[in-house]
Amino acid sequence: MIRIEIGQMPPLLRSIVRSALESQEDFAIVEVPQTEIGDADNADVIIVSGDPQRLGRVPMVPFIAEDSPGLIAIAADGHSAAIVRVTAENSRVEAASDLSNLVRRAVRERRKQVH
């Protein structure tokens, strides 16, 4: 059984997403209070609105764990969606220079992905 959490999104879109998914026999919609979105213990996949300006942002902490849920960001019009993959790279920070180097590396890697 694939457990699906539906995060914050416009009510009509939420209803459409729920209706589309609950008819699948191998899916179970997990009810989670909206203040607890992204509880990795409750869901295998979390579907959220892809419109952060309107509905807030999704905390990333649940998605960097080793056994984290999948994340799907669906457009507000419901016509497109993106699977969001978060990659965590752990590094020791023993001095301010370590943190500075991590910041520079994160920016370089981001620039590589954008181009």
Dist CA 74 CA 56 (whole Å) = 14
Q: What are the φ and ψ backbone dihedral angles of 10, each rounded to 5 degrees?
A: -55, 145
Site of tokens 């990333």: 60
The pLDDT score that the predictor gives to residue 65 is 72
Tell me the pLDDT tens digit for each residue of 45-98.
989 888 766 555 666 766 777 778 888 889 878 889 988 887 777 888 898 888
- Which strand (E) or helix (H) includes residue 18? helix 11-22
The pLDDT score that the predictor gives to residue 77 is 82
The pLDDT score that the predictor gives to residue 60 is 72
Of all residues in the chain, the percent with pLDDT exceeding 70 is 77
Give me the torsion for CA of 92, 94, 100, 102, rounded to 10°.
0
Note if the pTM is more than 0.85.
no
- Statement: residue 25 has pLDDT above 60: yes
- Statement: residue 107 has pLDDT above 60: yes
